[in-house]
Structure 1
Amino acid sequence: MVIKQLSVFLENSPGRLKAATQVLADSKINMRALTLADTADFGVLRIIVDKPGDAVDILKKNHFAVKITEVLAVEMDDTPGGLNTVLGILENNQVNIEYMYAFMGSKPRKALVIFRVDQLEKAIKCLQLEEVRLISTEKEVEELIHFCWE
């Protein structure tokens, strides 16, 4: 029920992001989802790819600092309050959200939200009890995002 996410630490300088994504492209690794956060000195590229193990090896060989983190990918209704339903479940079960990012579409009004939480197993159990759909493979992430952007 977890998705492997790569966190790539990048110098905050022109071209560094492109260098990381070029290494992946040259190695035929497809990015499924991503977010970029920055500080004054560095950025953190968080990505979900089709081949996480290969991506880590390739990035490390090319001198990028990278680690794998387990995250939840949650499918929810793309309607007012859809996110709050899931947030309420996590709050009621004392699960803290460390960060999240989302992808939305219009067919059939579904959104995909990636969550990094402090209690992964507890989050999985409480979401499953409430019949929230958890995405379990990087391939499913790709299919949902692709469908959203058609």
Structure 2
Amino acid sequence: MLEHLSIFIENKPGKLNRISEILAQEKINIRAFMIAGAGTFGVLKVLVDKPGQAAQLLCARGLAVARKQIVIAILPDVPGALNKLLASLSANGINVTDSYGFLLHSGKSAAVVIECDMKEKAINTIQEQGYDLLTDLEKLSV
């Protein structure tokens, strides 16, 4: 199963750059990221090609890092596609605890990263809706 990292960071200039620099030096590719800021601190969610190695490197440099299992659904780039997916997950009792998305091909497809309870049930629900799952980040292309 795919993973992303949750990194607790100070909301100060240079903190995000420090993380990207550490990963770049070790040739770890950042595929997507998002930051949820809350005052003086925030949580950086980052999707990388080598999550285990990235987590070890960042922890060794004093950062608080958690590895979280995720599901990535590939949706058509049309109005209502995300709503259909979320309604289906909700109807099946699946709680989405964190999520972010990004466009893959304009007018064709988008990726939705989902952190949730009941991952296997979420996978089945996504597939039952006719959506594809991304299972290998190397296949992620824009």
TM band (smaller chain): over 0.9
What is the one-letter code of the residue matched to 1:44? V
Q: Aligned letter for 1:59?
A: L
**Is the 2:9–2:44 Cα contact (8 Å) retained in structure 1?**
yes
Deviation at 1:131, TM superposition (A): 2.6
Which structure: greater strand fraction? 2
**2:22 alignment counterpart:** 23
Runs of 4+ in 1 over 3 A off after TM superposition: 105-108
CA contact (8 A) 2:77 2:106 kept: no
Q: How far apart in 2 are the matches of 1:53 and 1:106?
A: 28
Unaligned runs of 5+ in 1: none
Alignment of 1:1-150 (within 5 A): 2-107=1-106, 109-140=108-139, 142-143=140-141, 147=142
User: Relative to 1, partners in 2 of residues 1:60 and 1:97: Cα closer, same or farther, differing over 3 Å?
Assistant: same
Q: Which has the higher contact order (CA 8 A, sep 6+)?
A: 1
Q: Distance in 2 between matches of 1:48 and 1:106?
A: 18
TM-score, normalised to structure 2, is: 0.93
Residues in 1 aligned to 2:64 and 2:90: alpha-carbon distance in whole angstroms = 33
- TM-superposed CA distance for 1:130, in Å, is 2.7
Q: Any conservation in 2 of the 1:102–1:113 contact (CA below 8 Å)?
A: yes
Percent of pairs with identical residues = 35
Deviations 1:79-124 (A, max 9, x none): 0111111112101101111121111144451001111112212111
Q: CA deviation at 1:78?
A: 0.6
Structure 2, unpaired ranges of 5+: none
AA aligned opposite 2:98: Y
SS at match of 1:95: coil
Distance 1:58 1:44, change over 3 A: same
- The amino acid that maps onto 1:60 is C
Structure 1 stretch displaced more, 12-21 or 121-130: 121-130
Q: Is contact 2:98-2:116 (8 Å) kept?
A: yes
The number of residue pairs the alignment matches comes to 142
Code of the aligned partner of 1:136: T
Query: Quick check: 2:78–2:107 contact (8 Å CA) kept in 1?
Result: no
Cα distance in 2, alignment partners of residues 56 and 99 from structure 1: 19
Task: Report the 3-state secondary structure (helix = DSSP H, G, I; strand = E; otherwise coil) of the residue aligned with 2:20.
Answer: helix
What SS class does the counterpart of residue 101 from structure 2 fall into?
strand
TM-score by length of 1: 0.88
